[in-house]
């Protein structure tokens, strides 16, 4: 990510949302196949065993007009204890749950400056709102946290100390959605308009926008 990426995308990029966790979904499919092999009727409609419920995980994939993948972000929804940042958050900095967590984003170098990052941000934000999350969280390096705040007007706050992972300094950061929206309304109203563009009139009323 760079400061030059902070504009509004010109178009031609779409984001597809893939639901579920591949490993968990495959485990559930194997369980249903075993039931069917054992002669259990309607095995395909039976719920998975306890502890095998599909995770509330999605993969948001940005593609160009030809369907070429340009970037991806993994998103999880749940309580703090369910998320990757759980051990990195100070007790007095806990966010209101449910929390929508996007701990990492990957964009092809050749796609830099095309608005891929912004389209992924918007997809995550819309997903969080539509899934009734109360907060957004991420795991970033200190420079990226500053870029969120200075370039995008996304006022994430630091939720814990800086930690080192494989030579990288990382910070758990996040904020409640209504606080982020209010900050954007004051400092970057055009970016807030971009983020909320996909919402229907009824969704805008429902989300207090």
- Domains, the chain, in order of start with CATH, read 67-206 (3.40.630.30)
Lowest pLDDT segment from 2-6, 101-105, 106-110, 201-205: 2-6
- The predicted model gives 7-31 an average pLDDT of 66
Determine the pLDDT at residue 53. Answer: 38
Residue 46 has pLDDT above 70, yes or no: no
Determine the pLDDT at residue 43. Answer: 53
The residue ranking higher by pLDDT, 6 or 21, is 21
- What are the tokens at 190? 């055009």
The rounded distance, in Å, linking the Cα atoms of 180 and 137 is 11
Tell me what percent of the residues of the chain surpass a pLDDT of 90.
60
Residue 173 has pLDDT above 90, yes or no: yes
Determine the pLDDT at residue 29. Answer: 64
SS3 assignment, position 140? strand
Residue 26 has pLDDT above 50, yes or no: yes
Instruction: Give the pairing type, strands 163-165 and 157-158.
Output: unpaired
Residue 51 has pLDDT above 90, yes or no: no
The rounded distance, in Å, linking the Cα atoms of 195 and 101 is 17
Beta bridge partners of 15: 62
Residue 174 has pLDDT above 80, yes or no: yes
Place of tokens 């030809």: 66
Residue 9 has pLDDT above 70, yes or no: no
Q: Tell me the H-state helices in the chain.
A: 22-37, 116-130, 142-147, 177-187, 189-196, 201-206
- What are the tokens at 12? 């031609």
Q: Is residue 40 very low, low, confident or very high in pLDDT (cuts 50, 70, 90)?
A: low
Residue 44 has pLDDT above 90, yes or no: no
């Amino acid at each position: 990510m760079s400061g030059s990426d902070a504009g509004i995308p010109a178009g031609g990029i779409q984001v597809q949302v893939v639901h579920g966790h591949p490993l968990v979904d495959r485990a559930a499919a194997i369980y249903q196949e075993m039931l069917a092999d054992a002669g259990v009727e309607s095995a395909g409609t039976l719920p998975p065993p306890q502890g095998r419920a599909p995770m509330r995980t999605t993969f948001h994939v940005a593609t160009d007009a030809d369907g070429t993948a340009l970037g991806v972000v993994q998103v999880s929804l749940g309580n703090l204890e369910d998320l990757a940042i759980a051990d990195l958050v100070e007790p007095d900095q806990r966010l209101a749950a449910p929390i929508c967590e996007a701990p990492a984003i990957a964009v092809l170098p050749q796609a830099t400056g095309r608005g891929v990052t912004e389209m992924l941000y918007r997809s995550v934000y819309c997903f969080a709102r539509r899934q009734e999350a109360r907060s957004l969280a991420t795991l970033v390096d200190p420079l990226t946290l500053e870029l969120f705040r200075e370039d995008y007007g996304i006022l994430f706050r630091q939720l814990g100390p800086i930690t080192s992972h494989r030579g990288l300094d990382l910070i758990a950061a996040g904020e409640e959605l209504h606080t982020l929206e209010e900050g954007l309304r004051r400092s970057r109203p055009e970016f807030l308009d971009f983020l909320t563009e996909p919402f229907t009139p009824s969704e805008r009323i429902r989300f207090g926008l």
